[in-house]
Amino acid sequence: MDSAQDRDPGALDDLLDGLVAEYSDRVEAGDHPSHREFLRRAEPSARPGLERCLKIIDAGNEPVGRAMVGPGERLGRFKIQRELGRGGMAVVYLADDPELRRAVALKVLRPGLALDESHVDRFVREGRAMARLNHPGVVQVFEVGRTGSVHWIAMEYVPGPSLKTVIDGLHAGGHGTAEGLGRMVQDPSLAEFASLEAACAQFLKGPTEGLVAAHDAGLIHRDIKPSNILVHAGGRAVLADFGLARADGDPGMSLTGEPIGTPHYMAPEQAEAASRSVDARADVYGMGVVLFELISGMRPFDGTTVLEVLDAIRFEIPKTLRAVAPSASANADAMVALATSRDPEKRYATAEAFLGELDRLSVGETTEARATLGGPMRRFFAGVGAVFSSRSSEYRSAATFLGIPLLHVVGAPVHRGPGALLRRPKTAVGWIALGPRAIGGVAIGGLSLGVLSSGGLAAGLIAGGGLSAGGLTAGGLSVGVRAFGGLAIGDVALGGLAVGRGAIGGMAIGRYTLSGGDSIGPYAAYAHLPERSDPEVYGFFQSEPAPLRDIYLGIFGEEFAEAAARADEPK
């Protein structure tokens, strides 16, 4: 059987681009990822080429004998001043442009990566893609060049921090404020907004306008994230790093079944290991996640490994904004929910539509998302219904009490793909909890624990299940004050085999026993032998609450009613 690379000669390059970018980012962050983790995500035929690239990255990160440029050296007409930062693919320097007398940021491809033409091609594509745009919301590219074996891009120098740094500082030690955001980005006007979410919306309008311009030029960014949004002094934010950009109609940059982008901000169609088309709505998804994180300081999905994050994006309903940031408005909550919808068809159709919503949110107007998604009840039923679809597995209500969701639903385990293991189902924990494992006030599941509980194994004040334990229980095996089951043990027990002070069953053992078969106890009554019925037995069961008397009447019919009436007659 031919591999994916045999079917598409360009697939290997695209596969390496995605995995190599991810590996490089993790190495630069100080992580030490194993090659095996990445190799197992590629088809066997692609692994030798992938491993070579990973080794090249390792070599490119070695400091000794690898520095090809440094302060005082020139690349083209640009004179390097100092290093600004390092990314997985490149090193960025502050440089001087003597002709135009301005500072520029010089992005230099790492020496190790320059050994592979696919990475050189990706680097040059980034420069050309950004050079096509001339918008204040996008970092400007001045020149793409090569000096000897060194590939570089000269671009606008942004002296401020990245949005990632802003978010970390804004939410450090507590909830952020509009004033805090204004201080972090050096824009005092943001402090005048009525809420943090309004200030965040205003702040993100600039880079979103840049994204609209990119889409109008036929470019899809595909790696929207806070570290790719840079902040000028005065608060002007610009979109940077088009290294994964794809031009419409460019077959060399299309997806080939491997995720491309940063995991936490990937749209589900990017995270899925399948050849799904990716369009501008994937960038809208990324912007929705950025807005979520800027307001709350958290991300909709997280995990201890990249695979866990990708798994969550593919199979789980994202956290609602208000679930992690209760002060957020229904407008902001609905806007984020619509932007990060799993189905691209249900998201904002364009970045321009998302931009319009930012404008409404910034001035406190009702967002179109809120009108589209409806009120709490409509969203509740939509969320619960999504859990039982083939592509969803979890729903948490935005409303909580004592920090616990009012409703938490976990669907059945979802299969990852041919030959893959089943996902382990999560435990549903909420005041109303439904799932394979459920804990809550009202719990329904294969294994459930709650005040009112129903499941294969159930424990609670009122419990129904194959094996149930509680105050009032019903199950194959039930133990409780009132027990109904094939085997029932309790103060009052009804079952095929019933053991209790008051027992009803095919075989009943207890002080007061009522049976259609065997009955063992000092006071026994037989439904099919009225002459052997003891009035004291019926008197005991007649004293039960009315709903239970109805159950006994349903089991033994008129004989129970007549005998119970005789038991009430004065002695």
Q: Residue 187 phi/psi, 5° resolution?
A: -130, 90
Please report, for residues 216, 362, 365, 366, the alpha-carbon distance to residue 357 in angstroms, rounded to integers and kept in the order given.
19, 8, 9, 9
Q: Flag whether 231 is in a domain.
A: yes
Measured from the Cβ of residue 102, the count of other Cβ atoms closer than 10 Å reads 12
CA 24 distance to own-chain centroid: 24
Cα(472)–Cα(50) distance, integer angstroms: 61
What is the tally of structural domains in the chain? 1
pTM (2 d.p.): 0.63
What is the longest distance spanned by two Cα atoms in the chain?
118
- Find the domain containing 310 and state its range: 159-374
CB < 8 Å & 24+ apart, contacts of 113-117: 113/24, 113/56, 113/57, 113/60, 113/89, 114/149, 114/150, 114/151, 115/56, 116/52, 116/53, 116/56
Question: E-assigned strands of 67-226?
Answer: 74-75, 78-86, 90-97, 102-109, 141-147, 150-156, 219-220
Reading the chain (571 residues) residue by residue, the pLDDT tens digits are 344 434 444 445 555 567 777 787 777 777 778 888 888 777 777 777 777 777 767 655 554 334 457 888 899 999 999 988 776 677 889 999 999 899 999 989 887 777 777 778 878 887 888 888 889 999 998 999 999 888 999 999 998 888 999 999 999 877 789 999 999 999 999 999 999 999 999 999 999 999 999 999 888 888 899 988 999 988 899 998 775 554 443 332 322 333 344 678 878 877 765 445 678 899 999 999 999 999 999 888 877 777 777 777 777 777 788 888 888 998 999 999 999 988 889 899 999 999 999 999 999 999 998 887 765 556 555 555 555 554 445 667 767 777 787 777 776 544 444 333 334 557 778 777 777 777 877 777 777 877 788 777 887 787 787 888 887 888 888 888 888 888 888 888 888 888 888 788 888 888 878 776 777 877 776 766 666 667 777 777 777 777 777 777 666 666 666 666 665 555 5
Give the relative orientation of helices 535-542 and 546-568 as an angle to the nearest 10 degrees.
140
Please report, for residues 50, 83, 205, 303, 424, the alpha-carbon distance to residue 40 in angstroms, rounded to integers and kept in the order given.
10, 35, 40, 19, 21
Question: Which H or E run contains 37?
Answer: helix 35-39
Q: Flag whether 138 is in a domain.
A: no
Q: Flag whether 252 is in a domain.
A: yes
CA angle 443, 445, 448 (to 5 degrees): 55
- Per the annotation, the verdict on 223 as an active-site residue is yes
Residue 388 confidence (pLDDT): 54
Cα(551)–Cα(563) distance, integer angstroms: 15
CA angle 11, 16, 21 (to 5 degrees): 140
Residue 1's contacts (CB-CB under 8 Å, 6 or more residues apart) are none
Please report, for the domain that includes residue 292, its CATH number.
1.10.510.10
Residue 423 confidence (pLDDT): 45
Cα(192)–Cα(182) distance, integer angstroms: 9
Residue 126's contacts (CB-CB under 8 Å, 6 or more residues apart) are 153, 241, 242, 243, 245
Q: Flag whether 258 is in a domain.
A: yes
* Beta-strand relationship, 404-405 and 432-499: unpaired
* Closest by CA position to 267, among listed 252, 279, 251, 254: 279
Question: Which residue out of 14, 17, 223, 241 is catalytically annotated?
Answer: 223
Question: Which H or E run contains 567?
Answer: helix 546-568
Q: Flag whether 304 is in a domain.
A: yes
Please report, for residues 114, 131, 204, 448, 468, the alpha-carbon distance to residue 77 in angstroms, rounded to integers and kept in the order given.
21, 18, 34, 71, 79
Q: Burial-class residue 4 by CB neighbours within 10 Å (0-12, 13-18, 19+).
A: middle
* Closest by CA position to 213, among listed 269, 270, 140, 274: 140
Q: Flag whether 107 is in a domain.
A: no
Residue 241 region, left (φ>0) first, then alpha (ψ -120 to 50), else beta?
A: left
Cα(182)–Cα(75) distance, integer angstroms: 37
Backbone CA torsion sign across 206, 207, 210, 216: negative
Q: Flag whether 326 is in a domain.
A: yes
Q: Residue 283 phi/psi, 5° resolution?
A: -70, -35
Q: Flag whether 121 is in a domain.
A: no
Q: Is 290 in a helix, a strand, or coil? A: helix
Quick check: 229 and 209 in contact, CB under 8 A? no
Query: Which residues are registered as beta bridge partners of 153?
Result: 107, 144
Q: Residue 184 phi/psi, 5° resolution?
A: -65, -35
Cα(75)–Cα(77) distance, integer angstroms: 6
